[in-house]
Chain A
Amino acid sequence: MSPGMTSAPALWHVDPATFATIVGMALVTYASRAGGYWLFRRIRPNPFVRAVLGYLPGTLFVSYVSPALLQGGPPQWVGAAATVGLMLLTRSIGWAIMGGTGTAWVVWLLLR
């Protein structure tokens, strides 16, 4: 992979390990999409499992975000605060991402 110009192989090359990773991700993602309905027609999960699944999305996202923010600096911290603020105000993921990234960029330029 040359860092400069994008060559034809850089555009069309498919690495076997990368392909296997994509297929693996695609299979488990489809299993998640279809598997819930497929299972639901057969079994009834108990309340404890339902409670765990209910908490999983939020806890997973904070587990991704918190160490990354801890390792970041003022641009990331101010940018994250701006993202949360914009999300609460506009309820639009698009505006929140753009505004938060723009804010982080401004802080980064000011501190450079």
Chain B
Amino acid sequence: MTGEPASFTRAGILRGMRRSLPLIVGLTPFGLVTGILAQAKGLSLAETTLMSALVYAGASQILALGAWTVPAPIVAATLSAFIVNLRMALMGPVLTPWLERFRGWRVWGTLFFLVDHGWALSVSEMRAGRNDLGFLFGCGVLLWVFWVITSILGHLLGSWLQPPPGHPIFFAALAAFVSLLVPMWRSTRDLLPWAVAIATACLVAWLLPGTSWHIVAGALAGSLAGAARDSTARSVDLR
């Protein structure tokens, strides 16, 4: 990335916030479902707020709440949050031209607010030649505020509605994952890893019902199969 060195300005923060506003439509049902699910699993409003404010990662929160137990599943939820959110470790390095100019809270504070959508907007901002780390911070903070608000609303609505178990409103959690899955399909190269993941996940879910090990096993088996296939293809190419 050439051009001016990266900055961190108030204008950048405001621009990030403005650009993220339409994403609230997508975030609202996700946040509501997280709050409703938390309420249904017996979490208090304070616990729900704390979770959304500190974790701020919908997929991992829904995943943990879907498999919630009493007492709370400390090891399983922490491990599955790590596995679900590990993808975000790949996002930071892409924004190195913005991040490397700064030290302290501007880097490590901004990274607390890193989310898929804010990252995607920032990558296109960077590709358009703009170099303001405040943009990423603005996106993240705005989405964080609405994430916490919609989780709280979901919890309050959930205690008012009291949907019975098996009610189709709970399908919204699964629908969120299905919708996030669609853009993850990149090409037919994904066919083998996805097929291995599906087969492994269904088998492990049948062997170990009521846990989230099928997600770990399916993800690892599928990804290793894809990477192994790719490295075999590369060594064939070299010959």
Contacts and interface: CB of A to CB of B under 8 A. Distances in A.
Contact of B222 (A3, A9, A63, A67): A63
Given A14-B47, A21-B64, A64 B177 contact: yes
Chain A contact residues, majority secondary structure: helix
B218 A59 contact: yes
Contacts, number: 295
A19 B47 contact: yes
Contact of B72 (A9, A15, A58, A108): A15
B175 A22 contact: no
B126 to A, nearest CB: 14
A100 B175 contact: yes
Interface in A67-95: 67-72, 75-76, 79-80, 83-84, 86-88, 91-95
Contacts of A57: 87, 184
Contacts of A6: 159
B218 to A, nearest CB: 3
27 contacts: A12-B45, A15-B47, A20-B74, A22-B47, A29-B88, A34-B108, A36-B88, A40-B92, A51-B226, A52-B227, A53-B90, A56-B86, A58-B184, A58-B190, A59-B222, A59-B223, A63-B197, A65-B178, A76-B171, A79-B174, A79-B175, A83-B179, A84-B178, A87-B178, A87-B183, A97-B30, A100-B178
Contact of B171 (A10, A31, A87, A101): A101
Given A11-B46, A21-B73, A63-B197, A56 B223 contact: yes
B78 A75 contact: no
- Of residues B93, B171, B196, which shows the largest number of chain A Cβ atoms within 10 Å of its Cβ? B171
Contacts of A33: 85, 88-89, 91-92, 111-112, 114
List 10 A-B pairs, minimum CB-CB distance, nearest first. A63-B218, A36-B89, A37-B92, A59-B222, A24-B78, A67-B205, A63-B201, A51-B227, A96-B179, A94-B26
A60 B223 CA distance: 9
Given A29-B57, A64-B63, A59 B219 contact: yes
Interface of A: 1, 3, 6, 9-15, 17-41, 47-48, 51-72, 75-76, 79-80, 83-84, 86-88, 91-98, 100-101, 104-105, 108
Interface stretch (B1-9, B12-20, B48-56, B141-149): B48-56
A58 B47 contact: no
